[in-house]
A and B are shown apart, each in its own frame.
Chain A
């Protein structure tokens, strides 16, 4: 789980010294006001204009015509694996420099390290420089990252997931202190030197700017939606039911399929998706007068809250979801114990491919998006990259160039030999080819590959059809194309926000109160009270901060 709070372990002797201080502190705030100041940041925001001027010039690098062309943040889709591959990089990226230490996250058993890993050996031979990756468990990545940054001991290439970066205190200070400013290497046309980095979408680069300078290479998302509401289409079809088209139908469907005696409930977690069905914003929305409206002030939120609280009250939500944060909804969903739950779209292909081997009829699909009566649904999302790759500060321009050339190799697009080697390893060793030409990983491939090069290099995301999930690419891209127009534009896209401490502090207590209402521990009518407390304790400060950030950026 999480680390214990700092300062929790103390010893007797130092405490004796501090005892006097502690006692003094309890005397009363008034006597101390003279000698103390408030801690915590007041927040800051980087300007978007400054961001635009440092971005690389976007130059698409498409080796193969996609079967389903992507649009904006939607990736390209390919329905077959190419029979002939091309060489994307002709000049060896390595300049014979010393080994490159990297660190990136991996969710799975750790592959063997350099020297005992034939995949790494094969790729390093092509690179002309030794990359020595250190893979860390993705679920506890923040612990390692925090310690590393605190000790200021970072590898030459460091991949950090966006959600972990958000957890690191004063990350912009860390960036300036520890990482190389890549602006001069990649700004504007300079990026043409690294064509596959220049091919990464501009929307992803926008987020890689701290303090007006370009500090990271992004790993773009393969789909900007935050959630989908997955349902078991196979089980609904077998029961002769069809997908609901309104909240009322959703509730009715829940009532029909819930059967506690069989251990089946309709829903896992759904609240975030319900908010979107009711047309509620993720956090802020622009009001006609130009100011910002928080979602608590939107009647749609109250309606979504009331609707979801009713699902709980009527016993349509699985008791494990009600009882514990650790409820494994994926497991319940796979076993048919719940028929619907919300998850990131990234969960789709893996689960479908895994489960269909045991249960050929298994079919998970995102529920078609619908709106409440008279309301237009929205979809939450952004083009925020999944990972950022940082380069250690102070390596010298030549070495930085070598590292960027390596990253450029790692970003080679679909249809190239480099892509295949990076994603699947060496043919005959790490993968075999199926009848349709697509690679199938071998035991060794599964053991030795851990996205060692993929997670640091960015790559333009694509969706490629695979044998075990034949319909996935069409379904996935179809869902995006159908709903992309509903995606609410991120008002703050490209603006790096460091939120005020009072705002961060009010999130959890407010979340607790909303949850109390959801679970029926407080009446729905209490929302007005919750909203008032929220706005008073930091919500208004947060609004002013966000409004100012927009105003400063001329938005």
Chain B
């Protein structure tokens, strides 16, 4: 079982994600440069956080035109589990794989802090080991993390069970307090908070178990027994 972690110019959570996948959850993972072809035998894809292209023009918009995105779209159609975290979520939105947009936080500042999110959909490849309504203590760190969509899109997100996580407190002015969503099929998930910063007890000031279930869900999806 192999996970590709895509590296764009300016990605900076790629090594963190790789460490957690490989060293903590013992999944084989490989860093893939954005101009390289996707390796043949992969089973899941992660787009990590960071500042691809220095957030120029708009966060994620340039990376959404990287050569690798075409391949990722193909994999998405085939139902492969794909997770975008923080800048990775922004890239998924900019590439059209997920609906909506990510705007500047209402604080107008970059915000790095710990908060809690609530599981709203536990049918995705990244949440199937979590309980509905379960709270996850998790780290956030972004300047443009405020999820926004028009009313029509929000209604369809609700109808199709595409809201995966919401914040347990008011964080950044996001529509419906959305912290993460998925596509209609449910295999492509994007989230602003950082599960890879939250799944090890030594660096999580609260409880790391719920965040680790995000990775254990992936193991479960891929049929790996922990």
Q: Do the two chains bind?
A: no
Chain A residues close to B by CB (< 8 Å): none
Chain B residues close to A by CB (< 8 Å): none
